[in-house]
Amino acid sequence: MTPATATRPAIDFGRATIHRNLSVAHLVEAALARGEGVLAANGALACDTGERTGRSPNDKYLEDTPAVRASIDWGTVNRPISPEHFDAIERAAMEHLRTQKDLYRFDGYAGADSAYRCKVTVYTMEAWHNLFAKTLFINAEPAALADWHSDWTIINAGALKLADPAKFGVRSPIAVVQSLEKKKVVIVGTRYAGEMKKSIFYAMNYDLPDMGVFPMHCSANVDRTDRSNVAIFFGLSGTGKTTLSADPNRALIGDDEHGWSDKGIFNIEGGCYAKCIRLSKEGEPEIWDAIRFGSVLENTVIDPATRIPDYDSAKKTENTRVTYPLNHIDGAVIPSVGAHPKNVIFLSADAFGVLPPVSKLSPEQAMYYFLNGYTSRLAGTEAGVTEPQPSFSVCFGAPFMPRPPMVYAELLAKRIREHKADVWLLNTGWTGGAYGVGHRFKLSWTRAMITAMLGGSLAKAQFREHPILGLAMPKAVAGVPSEVLDPRNTWKNGASYDSSARALASKFRENDRKFSISDAVRAAGPKA
Q: Which domains does the chain have, with CATH numbers?
A: 17-24+53-205 (3.40.449.10), 214-271+336-523 (3.90.228.20)
Q: Average pLDDT, stretch 134-148?
A: 95
Q: Average pLDDT, stretch 333-345?
A: 98
Q: Average pLDDT, stretch 29-56?
A: 97
Residue pair 74/298 in contact (Cβ under 8 Å)? The answer is: no
Nearest by Cα to 37 from 420, 311, 372, 300: 300
Residue pair 220/342 in contact (Cβ under 8 Å)? The answer is: no
Statement: residue 178 has pLDDT above 50: yes
Nearest by Cα to 415 from 240, 203, 215, 204: 215
Statement: residue 70 has pLDDT above 70: yes
User: How buried is residue 225: exposed, middle or buried, by Cβ count under 10 Å (0-12/13-18/19+)?
Assistant: exposed
Statement: residue 157 has pLDDT above 50: yes
Return the percentage of the chain with pLDDT > 70, whole number. 96
**What pLDDT is attached to residue 390?**
73
Residue pair 487/431 in contact (Cβ under 8 Å)? The answer is: yes
Statement: residue 473 has pLDDT above 60: yes
At position 523, the amino acid (one-letter code) is A
pLDDT class of 2 with cuts at 50, 70, 90: very low
Q: Average pLDDT, stretch 291-297?
A: 98
**What pLDDT is attached to residue 435?**
86
**What pLDDT is attached to residue 7?**
36
Structure confidence by residue, pLDDT tens digits, 212-237: 999 999 999 999 999 999 999 998 87
Q: Average pLDDT, stretch 345-350?
A: 95
Looking at every residue in the chain, the average pLDDT score rounds to 94
Task: Find the angle CA(126)-CA(52)-CA(306) to the nearest 5 degrees.
Answer: 70
**Crossing angle, helix 494-512 and helix 363-372, to 10 degrees?**
80
Distance, CA of 194 to CA of 273 (rounded, Å) = 8
**What pLDDT is attached to residue 385?**
54
Statement: residue 152 has pLDDT above 90: yes
Structure confidence by residue, pLDDT tens digits, 240-292: 898 999 898 999 999 999 999 999 999 999 999 999 999 999 989 999 999 99
Statement: residue 486 has pLDDT above 80: yes
**What pLDDT is attached to residue 5?**
34
- Answering whether pTM is above 0.85, one says yes
Distance, CA of 26 to CA of 243 (rounded, Å) = 30
Statement: residue 3 has pLDDT above 60: no
Residue pair 336/253 in contact (Cβ under 8 Å)? The answer is: yes
Residue pair 45/295 in contact (Cβ under 8 Å)? The answer is: yes
**What pLDDT is attached to residue 237?**
75
Q: Average pLDDT, stretch 377-403?
A: 75
pLDDT class of 466 with cuts at 50, 70, 90: very high
**What pLDDT is attached to residue 80?**
98
Element (H, E) at 238: none
Residue pair 323/287 in contact (Cβ under 8 Å)? The answer is: no
pLDDT class of 391 with cuts at 50, 70, 90: confident
Could you give the residue numbers annotated as active site? 55, 198, 217, 237, 241-242, 256, 321
